[in-house]
Structure 1
């Protein structure tokens, strides 16, 4: 369903290829990186935000709803006790009836990346 290939020559900067697209991941200098790209958790939040927005657009298009500009602020948070969570704020630019907003909030909880993050999964690692 999804596959990436990563290479790393030195340091914390990573070159990621997804199909024909090249992305860079890195850490900020405060974490020992050179800040040439988003950190891995930022990429994870970007995946969640992109999936949420795209899913909302697809749903709204089928309903013929104008959403205007969609804004999403997704944050990965680790509390003092070590509890990890994601906070996602979604803003719809166009005015909508309350019933439509309720339905869009439900759709946010059903996006593919949301569902993946909410359940645990096995990660199989093969070191060659």
Structure 2
């Protein structure tokens, strides 16, 4: 379904390859990194935001709804007890009816990455 390879030679910087695309990840300077790329949690948010935007665009295109620019702002918050949650705010440059916005909110909850994050997934690790 998806595959990514990651390599780290020194420090916290990580070079990654997904298909033919190169990505980088690192920790901010304040956490001891070199800030050469998004931090791991930011990459999780990037997957959620991009999947949200793509899914909404696909849906709206099928319906013939002009959305204009789609903006997806996401953040992970942790409360005093350590519980984490994601806040996602979606907006559009085109004016939409209340019914369209309600339907797009429903679709946002059904994107593939949203569903994966909400249900969790099994991680099987091997170390060679």
Which residue of structure 2 aligns with residue 61 of structure 1? 61
Does the residue aligned with 1:115 lie in a helix, a strand or coil? helix
Counterpart CA distance in 1 for 2:72 and 2:120 is: 24
Q: Tell me what 2:117 maps to.
A: 117
- What is the number of residues matched between the two proteins? 128
- 1:34, 1:63 → 2: CA distance? 45
Given the two structures, how large is their TM-score scaled by the length of structure 2?
0.99
Please give the per-residue CA displacement for 1:84-114, whole angstroms capped at 9, x wherever unaligned: 0000010111111111111000000000000
Q: Distance in 2 between matches of 1:63 and 1:121?
A: 32
Q: Structure 2: 5+ residue runs without aligned partners?
A: none
SS state of the match for residue 11, structure 1? coil
Superposition RMSD on alpha carbons, in Å? 0.5
| Equivalent position of 1:15 in the other structure | 15
Alignment deviations for residues 53-81 of structure 1 (CA, whole Å, 9 cap, x no partner) = 00000000000000011111100111111
Aligned pairs for 1:1-128 (under 5 A) are 1-128=1-128
Structure 1 residues not aligned, in runs of 5+? none
TM superposition outliers: structure 1 runs of 4+ over 6 Å = none
